């Protein structure tokens, strides 16, 4: 009888904890800067979603423009950082609010130095956590060099 009572109490405590853990944020907000409205409506994904104190940005592609080549990818990376800044600004945030970044790169060895150069000019200390992952390809084909995904912390 004592075993059953102890097991029942542990199970009840476990269920109570799981219910609180699984509770979804009630203040989820989709953020779409005016410049990205067409992308939102055509591709059906949000540039960013705010859930509680967290802001989750969709990946932003650094893509070669007309006449650009892989010998100078800095302009493509600058445009991607500019789009990230635009999305952050929609949430009244900036790079100082960013806590985590993941970069998916099609050629890590060739692209890392240009990425770090743009990062050094745009991202202030204290620096966010940053993960770099090599991939074989990205949405957009050969012109797409890297995708940068950002998470920011925005306490209310």
At residue 1, the pLDDT reads 46
pLDDT single digits (tens) 118-147? 999 999 999 999 999 999 999 999 999 999
- Report CA dihedral (44, 45, 49, 55) to the nearest 10 degrees: -160
Domains within the chain, CATH numbers bracketed = 26-153 (3.30.1330.40)
Distance, in Å, from the CA atom of 98 to the CA atom of 43, rounded to the nearest integer, reads 25
Q: How confident is the model at residue 17 (pLDDT cuts 50, 70, 90)?
A: very low
Tokens of 17: 């904890």
Write the pLDDT tens digit of every residue in 19-50. 344 545 568 999 999 999 998 999 999 999 99
Q: How many residues does the structure list for the chain? A: 156
Crossing angle of helices 74-90 and 108-122, rounded to 10°: 50
pTM for the complete prediction?
A: 0.82
């Amino acid at each position: 009888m004592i075993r059953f009572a102890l097991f029942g109490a542990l199970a009840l405590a476990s269920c109570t904890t799981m219910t609180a853990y699984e509770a979804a944020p009630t203040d989820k907000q989709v953020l779409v800067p005016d410049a990205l409205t067409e992308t939102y409506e055509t591709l059906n994904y949000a540039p960013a979603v705010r859930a509680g104190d967290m802001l989750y940005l969709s990946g932003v592609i650094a893509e070669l423009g007309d006449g650009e080549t892989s010998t100078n990818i800095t302009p493509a990376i600058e445009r991607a950082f500019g789009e990230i800044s635009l999305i952050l600004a929609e949430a009244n945030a900036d790079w100082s609010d960013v806590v985590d970044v993941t970069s998916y790169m099609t050629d890590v060895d060739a692209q890392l130095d240009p990425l770090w150069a743009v990062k050094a000019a745009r991202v202030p200390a204290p620096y966010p956590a940053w993960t770099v992952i090599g991939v074989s390809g990205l949405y957009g084909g050969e012109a797409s060099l890297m995708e940068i995904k950002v998470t920011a912390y925005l306490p209310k």
